[in-house]
Structure 1
Amino acid sequence: MSLIPDHPYLVSEAGGSLIITVPQLLTVNEADAFRSFLEERLNGAEGLKRLILDCAQTRMIDSSGVGSLVMLLRRCNQAGLAMELWSVNDQLKLALSLAGLDQMLTLVDGSDAITQSTLDAVPERGSLTHPSVRCWPKRVIDVVGSGIGLVITALLFIPIAIAIRSEGKGPILFSQTRCGLMGRRFRLWKFRSMVTDAEALKHTVTNQASGAIFKNENDPRITRVGRFLRRTSLDELPQFWNVFIGDMSLIGTRPPTPDEVEIYNVPEWRRFDVRPGLSGEWQVYGRSKVTSFEDIIELDLRYQRRWSFSYDLRLIVRTFRVLLSKQSGAM
């Protein structure tokens, strides 16, 4: 085992395996530096069969840390390397489970690669999740609010379905894969507001947004009924089901698509520290007028910094004001 100059990582190679210790804190800056170091190391490596990350010292990981592991796993898959995690503690297992990575990575409980002497000065590990995720009153409001929303959805389902079908055949509901807490993927539901072959026609539409998002205010794929549904936010009613089962919250961050996440850098994974929301700062303070990826990230991170239960309640009230003033737009 050797210590690489300018990098606080213990590294060893044996039998076609590269073994590297994971930092004590795998958060924004540490995660980005660790990923960069490993990718550089893998670029110059030959004859490797697997990458082993020893997590014996790791005491804190957030969504940025999870993002770095996702990027490393993608890099290993491209290079034909197996990626394993050793000495995985309960907190890390929880983070991997939330992100769905526990089914994609090989996890090994024991490790002889690191002694315990370096752990004596390590502080108690912090909490894995953002306070909003651990706030039970917020979850109660989510369940009660989404329950009421589902009742409203049931009452309006038939007239909305008839309106959608009046413009041609196709499904009433539209589902799309989005990324939620810790980057875990889930199916987001809406009333269909576009033509049935919208995804196939996407390349024909100009993207008016910048960065890792796609927007067009006059998207020709949106149907006449769909424009009304989006203008009134009725297309989003089925998302109350996502809130009810815990994939989303009434108030949170904007849920991105996997295509957006594919081009994220590690720091941008911080938005996954909280559950995505049916509404949030991007809805109240900008919504469809926000076309910059950087602005969306800033709104999401600002919500995390400002969060309190009372702040959520204020955003719920402001969401109703936006809807009543007819200044809403599509997610």
Structure 2
Amino acid sequence: MTAYNYLLEDSYKRRLTQYQYLLRSLHPSIKSKVKRLVDIVGGLFGLGITMIIAIPIAISMAISDPGPLLYSQVRCGLHGRPFRIWKFRSMVVGADKMKHLVKNEASGHIFKNTNDPRITCLGAFLRRTSIDEFPQFWNVLVGDMSLVGTRPPTVDEVEKYDPHHWERLKVKPGITGEWQVNGRSTVKDFEDIVKMDIDYQRKWSLGYDLSLIFKTIQVVFNKSGAC
């Protein structure tokens, strides 16, 4: 059974229907044509860089850890709708099946492990520099994600959500956001992430989006909070 089919199971659809009333109002960022234009331009630019860096990454991966260049996973986007996210593979092949063997160091409906043994040597570099995220520019271009938004949750995380957690799904998930510039992987309490996501929705503007993009660039170059 694929992750996508799993997401369409009755249990998930019931949860989505149950909290649909929380997602009725459209956040202003969803209706902004300028934000979408910025996403398209940024997505095209980012994909151009992705295609260039994919070549040396593919060569390095073939030498150090043979397997697929890309990794995909079904995530929950705007209003809980499913989409397939793309990344450069940073873990060993079949890592998802080993997840139960790794201790979750985070609190709440999120999974984090600072020294996850499934991460390859190349993958550690890709994550530390955030290069593994570059294929997500495709998700931005097709409209599943935005350059700036909330962290895209997994299906099993959303299935455990309490009512107030669904508020974070009122905007598109982003490659970056409040969580990216305020601790990144050092933030290990899900409730803190929810607060950041709601705070982003409250403060949202095109100018604020641009400020978060510039802050993200600084954070990435400083490699602060990465793992």
TM over 0.5: yes
Aligned residue runs from structure 1 range 200-279, under 5 A: 200-279=97-176
- Is residue 2:94 matched to residue 1:197? yes
Aligned AA (1:230):
R
Go from structure 1 to structure 2 and tell me whether the alpha carbon gap of 1:72 and 1:155 turns closer, same or farther (over 3 Å shift): closer
1:318 to 209, 215, 218: 215
- Is residue 2:78 matched to residue 1:181? yes
Aligned residue runs from structure 1 range 60-139, under 5 A: 70-71=14-15, 128-139=25-36
**How far is 1:165 from its partner?**
1.6
TM-score (norm 2): 0.89
Query: What is aligned with 1:170?
Result: 67
Aligned AA (2:155):
P
- Whether the aligned pair in 1 keeps the contact of 2:149 and 2:171 (CA below 8 Å) is yes
Q: Distance in 2 between matches of 1:267 and 1:224?
A: 38
Query: What is aligned with 1:149?
Result: 46
Q: Could you give the per-residue CA deviations for residues 290-316 of structure 1, whole angstroms, max 9, x where no partner exists?
A: 000100111110100111111111111
Query: What is aligned with 1:297?
Result: 194
**How far is 1:265 from its partner?**
1.4
**How far is 1:173 from its partner?**
0.2
> Could you list the runs of 5+ residues in structure 1 that have no partner in the other structure?
1-67, 75-91, 100-126
Q: Distance in 2 between matches of 1:172 and 1:297?
A: 31
Larger Rg: 1
Q: Distance in 1 between matches of 2:36 and 2:183?
A: 25
> Could you list the runs of 5+ residues in structure 2 that have no partner in the other structure?
1-11
SS at match of 1:278: strand
Q: Distance in 2 between matches of 1:141 and 1:131?
A: 15
Q: Distance in 1 between matches of 2:16 and 2:72?
A: 29
- Whether the aligned pair in 1 keeps the contact of 2:47 and 2:135 (CA below 8 Å) is yes
**How far is 1:128 from its partner?**
3.1
- Whether the aligned pair in 2 keeps the contact of 1:189 and 1:242 (CA below 8 Å) is yes
SS at match of 2:86: strand
TM-score (norm 1): 0.62
User: Share of identical aligned residues, percent?
Assistant: 56
**How far is 1:71 from its partner?**
2.5
**How far is 1:286 from its partner?**
1.5
- Whether the aligned pair in 2 keeps the contact of 1:233 and 1:328 (CA below 8 Å) is no
Q: Which one has the bigger helix percentage?
A: 2
Instruction: Report the number of matched residues.
Output: 214
Query: What is aligned with 2:204?
Result: 307
Go from structure 1 to structure 2 and tell me whether the alpha carbon gap of 1:264 and 1:159 turns closer, same or farther (over 3 Å shift): same
RMSD over equivalenced CA pairs, Å: 2.0
**How far is 1:329 from its partner?**
2.2
Aligned AA (2:25):
L
Q: Could you give the per-residue CA deviations for residues 69-111 of structure 1, whole angstroms, max 9, x where no partner exists?
A: 732868xxxxxxxxxxxxxxxxx9xx9xxx9xxxxxxxxxxxx
Q: Distance in 2 between matches of 1:242 and 1:328?
A: 24
Q: Distance in 2 between matches of 1:296 and 1:130?
A: 19
